Amino acid sequence: MASNPLTQLVFDLFIVSAVLIMAYTMNFYYLAMVSSRRAAAERRESDAEPSVTVHLPIYNEKYVAARLIDAVCGLDYPRERLRVMVLDDSDDDTTGLVASTVERWRKSGTRIEHVRRGTRSGYKAGSLRHAMGTTDSELVAIFDADFVPPPWFLRRAIPQFSRPEIGFVQCRWGHLNEGYSSITRVQAISLDIHFLVEQRAKSDSGLFMNFNGTAGVWRRECIVDAGGWHDATLVEDLDLSYRAQMRGWRCIFLPDVVVNAELPAQMNAVKRQQFRWAKGSIQCAVKLLTGILARRGIPLETKVQAFVQLTRHIVFPLTLVQFLALPILLAANVNLYAIGLPAITIAAYLALGPLAYVLVVQSMYGESWAKKARVLPALFVYSAGMAVTNTVAVVDAIFGKRSEFLRTPKHGISARSDEWRGKEYNLPFTKTTLLEVFFAVYGVMGMFVAIFSSQPVFVPIIGIQTAGFVYVSAYSIAHSRFKGGPAGRAGHEMASRPYRLALAGIVAIIVIGAVASFEGYRTTVYPLDLARGHLSDISRETSHAQVPSIIAMASASLPEGGNPVWIFPTPETDFGLMQEALGQMRLTAESLESVDASSAAYHVGLSSIKHSALEIRENLVNATPYMYVSITNIVLACVWVAGLLVVFTALKRKKSQIGR
C-alpha cells in the first residue's frame, strides 16, 4: 500500500486501530440487539421486610448533603428495620451541616448515625469498608451525595432478594437537571445508553454486570464473601461487583426503578468523572481479567463480554491514533476508500455511526425517541472531545501510575435557573486541556490536507473529532473559576479574572499557531501536491507537445535542492536530484520535436518520460510526510507548546496567590 517505511507504519497503525474499534463497535450493537428484545424484568412482590442499612459516603458536599439525607430518611420502610449511616469524610463546613441534619432526623425517631473516621484513607472504598465493620443488617443500600431516591425505592428493589443467589440489585440513574445545558443533555443520553442497552442486555443474558456505585442494594453476605471493598482501583464498585460474580453471585438491573441524580454542569467536573471511570476500568482489567479468563465454570460469552467491558476505554487512544494518522496518510496520497469507492466509504461510516445510533435510540425511548435523537450530533462531538482525557486515563492505568480518588463536585443544580458559578468546588482546567487544544489545531490542518489532497470525503470525519476537541477545550477554559478573594460578586469577578486573561492568551496562541500552520502547509507541502499532480498529467499525455510546459510547472513547484529526510536521508527524496531528473526529461521531450511521431524511437522516448514522471511522483509521496516533521516545524511546535505552558505556569502561580 505504501512503499515508504514511515508511511507504511502509519498505515498499519491506522488499519489495526480501525479493526479494533470496529470490533468494540460491533459488540455494542450486539448488546443493543440483545437489549431490544426487552425481556421483562420479573416483578416480585414480597411481604418480607429484611433489615436494611443505607450507606451515604460523603466528602465535601455542602450543596447536596441535606437533600440526600432528607430523601433517604423519607424512605417508605419500617423505622425499626431501617438504619442510616452518613459516612462523612468532609474537611469543610459540610460536617456542621450534616450534623444538624442528622440531629433533626434523629429527634424524629429515625435510626441515623453521623460517622466520622478522622481520616480519608482509602477514599470512598475506605469509608464503605469502615462502615461494614459495624453493619449487621441483611441488606446494604448505597447512595452517592448527588442522588435523590424516591420514597418507594426499597419497596421496589428489595423483593428481588427473595432469590438467594442474588448478590446485588442495580437501579437506573435518572437525571434531575437533564435540560440544564448541552453538557447535561449529552451526559443524560450517554448514561441512558449505558443503562438501557449495556446493563439491560447483560442483566437479561446473565452476563457479568457492573455495579454503578450508587442507586443499588447489596446483600451484606455477598459483600463479605467477595472480599469487601478494595481501594486498589478508582472504581471500587466495578471491582467488587466483578469479584462477587466470579464467586457465583448473580445480579439484576431494574430499568423501571429510576433514581434521579444531579449531572455535573461544569466541563472540568465531567472530565474528572470520565477520567476516574476510564482509569478505574483499565485498573480492574489489570487486576481481574487473568482470573476471569482462567476460571473454569465461567461461560465463554461471559468471559468475552467481561474482557470488552473492562478494556473498552482502549477505544479512545485508538481513536486518537486514527485521528493523527489520517492526515498523514492523505498527504501521502494513500488510498483509504472502502473498496476503492468514496461513496461506499461515507456510506459505511454513516451506517456504523449516526444511523445505527438512531436505531438504538429509537429502541430505547419508544415514542419519545425523536426528541432524544436530536441530541445525538452533540453526543458524537462530546464523545470525540473526551478522547484526550480518557486516553490519558488509560495510559496512566497501563503504566500503573497511582492517583488520588477525586470526587465529582456537585452544586445542587436541578432547575435551569440554578447557578454553579461562584460556588465552591469549581475546578480549573488542567494540562489535559493543552492536549485538546493541540488536537483541535491539528484537526483544522487535517481538514485542509483532506481538501488539498482532493479527498474531501474525509473532511466530515476529521471535522467531527475536531469539533469535539474545540467543544471540550473551550468549555474547560470558559468554565474555570477560582474560589476566594473578597466576599460577594466583586470577589468572584476578581478571582476569575486570571482565567479570562488566560482564555484570551490561549485563543491568541491558537490563532497564531493555526495561521502559521496553514502558511507552512501552503508554502512547503501544497507545492509538492501540485508537483505530484503535474507529474500525473505527464503520465497521461499521448503527445510530447505539452510535456515541456508541464515539466516546467512541476519544477517550479519543487524546492531547488535539499532533502526533507534529515534522519538517514536517501537519494530518492533529494530535491536537487529530482530537479536534475526533470531537466533531463525536458531535454528528452524537446528532442522529440525532430522525431517522427509514428516511429518506435518516438514512443520509446515518450514512454521513458512517463516512467521518469511516475518515479519522481513516487519519490515525492515518500518525501511528503517528512515535510511535516522538518526541524523548522519541530522548533516552531516547541515554541507554540512553550507559549501554552507559560500560560499554565502563570495560572498556577496566580492560583496559589488567590487560594482555593
- Catalytic position from the list 88, 192, 237, 396: 237
Give helix 123-132 / helix 236-246 axis angle, nearest 10°. Answer: 50
Separation between Cα atoms, residue 171 and residue 215, nearest integer Å: 6
Separation between Cα atoms, residue 531 and residue 333, nearest integer Å: 13
For 6, residues 6+ apart whose C-beta sits below 8 A from its C-beta are 625, 626
12 is catalytic: no
Q: According to DSSP H, which parts of 62-199 are helical?
A: 65-73, 94-107, 123-132, 153-157, 182-193
439 touches 463 (CB < 8 A): no
HSE toward the beta carbon, residue 565, CA cutoff 13 A? 17
For 208, residues 6+ apart whose C-beta sits below 8 A from its C-beta are 202, 241, 242, 245, 292, 302, 305, 306, 309
Query: For the chain, how far is it from start to end, CA to CA, in angstroms?
Result: 55
524 exposure class (CB count in 10 Å sphere: 0-12, 13-18, 19+)? middle
| Spatial CA neighbour of 286 closest among 234, 247, 226, 249 | 234
Three-class DSSP category at 656 = helix
Separation between Cα atoms, residue 435 and residue 45, nearest integer Å: 53
- Residue identified by cell 485498573 is 283
89 touches 436 (CB < 8 A): no
315 touches 21 (CB < 8 A): yes
411 touches 420 (CB < 8 A): yes
b/e string for 262-294 if b means 16 or more Cβ within 10 A?
Answer: bbbbbbbbbbbbbbbbbbbbbbbbebbbeebee
- Residue identified by cell 442483566 is 203
- Catalytic position from the list 88, 89, 144, 192: 89
Q: According to DSSP H, which parts of 455-487 are helical?
A: 459-478
Separation between Cα atoms, residue 437 and residue 11, nearest integer Å: 25
Q: What is the DSSP letter of 43?
A: P
Other residues' Cβ atoms within 10 Å of the Cβ of residue 25:
14
b/e string for 428-440 if b means 16 or more Cβ within 10 A?
Answer: bbbebbbbbbbbb
| Spatial CA neighbour of 90 closest among 127, 132, 125 | 127
DSSP for 330-388 reads HHTT----GGG-HHHHHHHHHHHTHHHHHHHHHHHHGGGHHHHHTTHHHHHHHHHHTHH
Q: Across the beta sheet with 112-115, what order do the strands follow? A: 112-115, 82-88, 52-58, 139-142, 216-219, 166-175, 250-261, 147-148
CA distances from 31 to 116, 274, 549 (A): 42, 22, 61
204 is catalytic: no
Separation between Cα atoms, residue 636 and residue 630, nearest integer Å: 10
Rounded to the nearest 10°, the torsion over CA 375, 376, 380, 381 is -30
Active-site residue numbers? 89, 237
